[in-house]
Amino acid sequence: MTGIASLDHSEIATMEHAATAPMLPQVERWAAINSGSRNLPGLSAMATELADAFSPLPGDVRLVDAGPVDAIDANGTPTAIHHGRNLHLVVRPQAPVQVLLTGHMDTVFGADHPFQALRWLKPGLLNGPGVADMKGGIAVMLAALAAIETHPLAPRLGYEVVINSDEEVGSSGSAPLIATAARDKIAALTYEPSALPDGTLAGARPGSGNFSLVVTGRAAHAGRNPQDGRNALVAAADLALRLARAAGPGLSINPAKIDGGGPNNVVPDHAVLRINLRPITPADEIRARALIDAAAANVAADHDVSIHVHGGFGRPPKPMDAAAERLYALVRDCGAQLGLAVGWRATGGVCDGNNIAACGVPVVDTMGVRGGAIHSGEEYLITDSLGERARLSALVLLRLATRGRV
């Protein structure tokens, strides 16, 4: 028998505890704090808020510094990039069932972005920066965990929580922390908003790689002796065209920007090509790496320049393997017991779920709220989904604690 009648009293009580948590006031408070990925003071304020909010849970809340990261500037020089601290909570690491829950505190809206305020579009529809992606999801996660602590099964369930500060810029500073937290977990839940406003989950995801290809040529006078120069800008453009033509089934390639050049009468001696590649499968990622290396070598030879490749695939592909299918089926079945139709579909986006899946841990990475128009000034949260998704998360966690497996 499915439906609410098949749930026992303790399960119903736990889910109602989750659904009645003060999630909306939390979202309103947190969304009023600008925590753009590059706004370090704002991220610090947000991290402090979250540490306070998660502190009632058993275990110690720590704010962990990001790992070292560098990027290539417009001159082709490696430059250190600083990220905010990441929240890390470990609860009952000796419990027989171990799961990972992740989220991110950063948004795509910087301190100087015009989208800063909250407003009601209509009753039940809240517009604001990060309300869906993903401060609403963090509130859902916290509500579910606090409710689980009231259930007799709580001693069986151990968990780690990672809320990072750099997800929207690739998680390069927090990836080691996420990988360490994923060890020995039977499953993971990540609180990105649903793929569609109706609650559809994101299933398979491609990988994503960001590369900066630094081209070094030779300067010369454009009028007196251009033949002595080696035009780095032309070589970078040729490289962009060759890579764009290499895209096809299983791999999209987007040459995004070329930095370089100077006065019209100087043959440019440096350029930096920025590209993004999205492989569908691990095999496509291997092919993509080979394409970059081959194209760089060929262009370097044809133009008599040197090319240095910087970057990598920070988000590995996330296919739907058998373990992932079982976890999604568990979420679907829990949804059915709550009267929710839970489905999923492949999506072109990437997130920390990619990194978790690459550690061999099945993950559902859209356990957050329903909403839409994320990454725009029209971003909105469907506020009824706060309680709905908190109930769902609580029930999924209880089922994992009971089964001890996916």
The pLDDT mean for the chain works out to: 97
Domain-terminating residue out of 315, 340, 358 = 315
Shared-domain flag, residues 199 and 337: yes
Q: Which of 294, 315, 336 is the last residue of a domain?
A: 315
Judgement on whether residues 113 and 191 belong to the same structural domain of the protein: yes
With a CB cutoff of 8 Å and minimum separation 6, the contacts of 220 are 226, 227, 228, 229, 266, 267
Q: What's the chain's length in residues? A: 406
**CA-CA distance, 339 to 286, in Å (whole number)?**
42
My answer on whether 241 and 340 are in the same domain is no
Confidence (pLDDT) at 232: 98
Q: Are residues 240 and 356 in the same domain?
A: no
In this predicted structure, what is the pLDDT of residue 6? 82
By DSSP bridging, strand 60-64 and strand 344-345 are unpaired
Contact predicate 49/85, CB 8 Å? no
Q: Is 394 helix (H, G, I), strand (E, B) or coil?
A: helix
> Alpha-carbon distance 234 to 258, whole Å?
10
Residues 260 and 151 in one domain: no
Statement: residue 73 has pLDDT above 60: yes
Q: With 70 as the cut, is the pLDDT of residue 238 above it?
A: yes
Task: Identify the burial level of 63 via C-beta atoms within 10 angstroms of its C-beta, where 0-12 means exposed, 13-18 middle and 19 or more buried.
Answer: middle
Using an 8 Å Cβ cutoff, are 383 and 209 in contact? no
Count of the separate structural domains present in the chain: 2
Q: How confident is the model at residue 336 (pLDDT cuts 50, 70, 90)?
A: very high
Q: Which of 293, 315, 337 is the last residue of a domain?
A: 315
pLDDT at 1 > cutoff 50: no
The domain spanning residue 361 has which CATH number? Answer: 3.40.630.10
The mean per-residue pLDDT over the stretch 148-170 comes to: 98
The CATH number assigned to the domain holding 235 equals 3.30.70.360
User: CA-to-CA distance for 180 and 315, rounded, in angstroms?
Assistant: 16
Q: Verify that 39 and 69 share a domain, yes or no.
A: yes
In DSSP notation, 309-322 reads: EEEEEEE--B---H
Res 2 pLDDT > 80: no
> Is residue 243 pLDDT above 70, yes or no?
yes
Write out pLDDT tens, residues 343-383: 999 999 999 999 999 999 999 999 999 999 999 999 999 99
Residues 257 and 380 placed together within one structural domain of the fold = no
Instruction: Judge if 140 and 249 occupy the same domain.
Output: no
CA–CA dist 24, 338 (Å, integer): 21
Whether 40 and 154 share a structural domain:
yes
Give the residue from 108, 103, 105 showing the smallest Cα distance to 178: 103
Asked whether residue 29 falls in the same domain as residue 130, the answer is: yes
Helix/strand/coil percentages in the chain, nearest 5: 40, 25, 35
- What contacts 7, CB < 8 A, 6 or more positions away? 15, 337, 395
* Torsion region of 184: left, alpha or beta (phi above 0 gives left; psi -120 to 50 gives alpha): left
Task: Please report, for residues 131, 216, 245, 292, 310, the alpha-carbon distance to residue 272 in angstroms, rounded to integers and kept in the order given.
Answer: 36, 9, 19, 14, 10
Residue 5 pLDDT exceeds 70: no
Instruction: Look at residue 171 in the predicted model and tell me its pLDDT.
Output: 98
- 256 Cβ contact partners less than 8 Å away, ≥ 6 residues apart: 274, 275, 276
User: What range defines the domain where residue 268 resides?
Assistant: 208-315
Residues in CB range of 276: below 8 A, 6 or more apart:
208, 209, 210, 211, 253, 254, 256
Domain match, 362 and 288 both: no
Helix (H, G, I), strand (E, B) or coil at 130: coil
Beta bridge partners of 305: none
Confidence band, pLDDT 50/70/90 cuts, at residue 30:
very high
229 and 187, same structural domain? no
As a whole number of angstroms, the distance between CA 289 and CA 186 comes to 31
